[in-house]
């Protein structure tokens, strides 16, 4: 299925902005993206500096796969390494 680049961008943006519930928005985007890419899962994580961990906000998988931990504590060495990084 061939989709115009601008149309694809608009459709993904529309789905991401379609709900204030981030879980609903990510699920809609995931379903659309799966129509165009071979995706098995998608997740949204944030870095929680106070916890020294990565916090999972939302996760969707193609099947009934196991859910990942909601909070993943990172060792001190990883935090130090991450602080030295710059850019995306």
Residues 33-72 have pLDDT tens digits of 999 999 999 989 998 888 888 899 999 888 765 666 788 8
Instruction: Quote the pTM value.
Output: 0.75
- Whether 34 maps to a domain, the answer reads yes
Do 67 and 59 contact (CB within 8 A), yes or no? Answer: yes
Backbone dihedral angles phi then psi of residue 80, each to the nearest 5 degrees: -65, -40
Q: What is the mean pLDDT of residues 13-29?
A: 95
Q: Is residue 88 part of a domain?
A: no
Give me the half-sphere count of Cα atoms (radius 13 Å) on the Cβ side of residue 50.
0
Q: How far apart are CA 85 and CA 79, in angstroms?
A: 10
> Residue 56 is part of which domain span?
5-83
Of residues 73 and 68, more confidence is placed in: 73
Least confident interval from 5-9, 74-78, 82-86? 82-86
Domain count, the chain: 1
Partner residues linked to 54 by β-bridges: 47, 72
The answer to whether the CB of 32 falls within 8 A of the CB of 15 is yes
- Strand 41-48 versus strand 71-73 pairing type: unpaired
Residue 24 forms part of a structural domain: yes
pLDDT in the model for residue 15: 96
Query: Is 52 contained in some domain?
Result: yes
Average pLDDT, integer, range 4-28: 95
51 belongs to a structural domain: yes
């Amino acid at each position: 299925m061939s989709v115009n680049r601008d149309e694809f961008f608009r459709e993904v943006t529309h789905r991401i902005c379609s709900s204030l519930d981030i879980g609903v928005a990510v699920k809609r985007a995931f379903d659309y993206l799966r129509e165009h890419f071979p995706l098995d899962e998608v997740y949204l994580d944030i870095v929680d500096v106070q916890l020294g961990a990565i916090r999972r906000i939302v996760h969707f998988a193609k099947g009934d796969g196991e859910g990942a931990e909601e909070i993943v504590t990172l060792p001190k060495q990883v935090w130090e390494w991450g602080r030295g990084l710059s850019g995306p």
